[in-house]
Structure 1
Amino acid sequence: MAFLARDGKSVYYEHHRGPNRPVVLVHGWGATSECWDTTLTALLTAGHEVVLIDHRACGRSDRDFDDVSVAAIASDVVALVRELGLDRPVLDGWSFGGAVVVAAAAELGDAVSGVVLTGGATPRYSATDDWPHGGRPEDTEAVIAGLAADRAATFRAITAAVAAKPLSDDLNEAIWLQFMQTGAKAAFGLRDLVDVEQRELLASLAVPILSLHGTDDAFVPISGARAGIELARDGRLVEFPGCGHAPFLEDPATYQTELLRFLDQA
């Protein structure tokens, strides 16, 4: 097991070496790097170098970090890319991880070759007067309150909302078990996401951006993905009809095809 030292604590990561374009996979809020298992297999089969990371307070990373914000987790991704000496990797972030990789890519500049947003919670997660595509802060607070009152049941409800297409009972259980590994402080990261504003940051990225987004996403509406990709200098949106928040689990064959095509071109 490999760990990155950060703020006197440890962030778990995996580094799978390969001859082709490096990819850094950044999971969504409350999940773990295990969510990428089928994506990882496809990337390794295609010869890619792959790095996975568990967010602060998630999975096998320490749970007692004081700072679990998008910016802090993005700084971990930046540090990991530099420590491993990755050669212009592509950063792929799911949900909350989408905001993380946008922030990390802005910091790394031309040291990355592309960004993939998988149901990415960017450029905003919550709605404002001039961004009507997100949820309400009070909805996020209700989730946080639910976690404090009945963590297991709240994560069951979140698991049930992840996909619009049916997933197997085993896969749903695996997702729930990942959520149940999350430390209590991860809730502060979700609260931080409510106020994250990345419209200017997203527009500033000079690398290609691929957005892979389900049309029936219950967490990040497709309208936000459509509006967000319009801000990118070099962006392309692939919509997954009938899929929810996890197209890589709901339609893995199409997801992997689109991801590998993007990697070949990056």
Structure 2
Amino acid sequence: MPFINSNDGTQIYYKDWGSGQPIVFSHGWPLSSDDWDPQMMFFLNHGYRVIGVDRRGHGRSEQVADGHDMDHYADDLAAVVNHLDLHDAIHVGHSTGGGEVARYLGRHGESRVARAVLISAVPPIMVKSEANPEGTPKEVFDDFQAKLAANRSGFYRDIASGPFYGFNVPGVEPQEALIENWWRQGMMGGAKAAYDSIVAFSQTDFTGDLQKITVPTLVMHGDNDQVVPFHDAGPLTAKLVRNATLKSYQGYPHGMITTQHEVINRDLLEWLRS
């Protein structure tokens, strides 16, 4: 399996398929690059080179004890980009991966980047504060950490069968295969990485990173996102990025890249070709 060593020696796993303009996919918490299967297969078949990266401590990457913060995530992503010598790349991030993409652009610049896509992404900042009064209370994320530490397997099962895909919404039929695949990906990674990453995705302020982005950026967000609420994310991000396009989806959940992948893939391809 292909691995590279990041700046601090951490082994990072990646997939690299096809040829053409590269699309680099950054996954959400606590998953792996496998979460992008519907997108990687779709864009591979449309002539793109697709690259998926397992975040440190997640998936097949090394389960190190430290470095589970956005600066390290961005540096790990940069290490893969530099190793593969990617240019004119399209960076696509979902959820926590959207934060990773924003921090990568803010920290490493845009010289290798053509476009960016933030889907159901955590920026600008999730946690509630005086500066972000509409955010999610910190106690919610503290509870996430407590449940993960006590029973990670059960906690993951509850998330996948409930708010992540909107399977707790009346009239929505749960899809057992998706629940099991979410659980499988989460359990592949390390508990310490997932625990620390809750702080990283909820408390990191990406405002400065978003303001540095100048490449065309597509912001895609469902208005029934129970994990990263629409009102506190997508529209605010689109206002901060100077060359952004906001596309909202009525009734779509946080995990819409999976449950509504046909629509998301179609819209993303149309935007890339525009």
TM-score (norm 2): 0.92
Match of 1:154 in 2: 155
Runs of 4 or more, structure 1, over 6 Å off, are: none
2-structure distance, mates of 1:102, 1:9: 21
Change (3 A) 1:228 1:133: farther
Q: Which amino acid aligns with 2:190?
A: G
For residues 141-220 of structure 1, the aligned pairs below 5 Å read: 141-160=142-161, 161-164=163-166, 166-186=173-193, 187-220=195-228
Query: What's the counterpart of residue 137 of structure 1?
Result: 138
Equivalent position of 1:101 in the other structure: 101
1:8 corresponds in structure 2 to: 9
CA offsets 1:14-49 (integer angstroms, 9 cap, x no match)? 111312x21100000110111111111101010101
1:57/1:183 contact within 8 Å kept: yes
Percent identity of equivalent pairs: 28
User: Residues 9 and 203 of structure 1: is their aligned pair in 2 closer, same or farther, counting only changes over 3 Å?
Assistant: closer
Counterparts of 1:116 and 1:166, CA distance in 2: 29
Aligned pair partner of 2:250 in 241, 261, 265 = 241
Greater displacement, 243-252 / 43-52: 243-252
Rounded to whole Å, the distance in 2 between the matches of 1:102 and 1:154 is 28
Shift of residue 65, structure 1, vs aligned partner: 4.0
Matched with 2:263 is 254
Between the aligned partners of 1:74 and 1:136, the Cα distance in structure 2 is 26
- Equivalence for 2:114: 113
CA contact (8 A) 1:96 1:121 kept: yes
**3-state secondary structure, aligned to 1:63:** coil
CA deviation after TM superposition for structure 1 residue 119, in Å: 0.4
**Counterparts in 2 of 1:118 and 1:166: CA distance versus 1, 3 Å:** farther
TM-score of the pair, normalised by structure 1:
0.95
- The equivalent of 2:169 in structure 1 is none
Distance change (3 Å), C-alpha of 1:65 and 1:260: farther
Q: Distance in 2 between matches of 1:167 and 1:53?
A: 28
Supply the AA of the counterpart residue of 1:183. Answer: G
Q: Deviations over 1:137-174 (max 9, x none)?
A: 22111111101111111111121221125452111111
1:133 Cα shift? 3.9
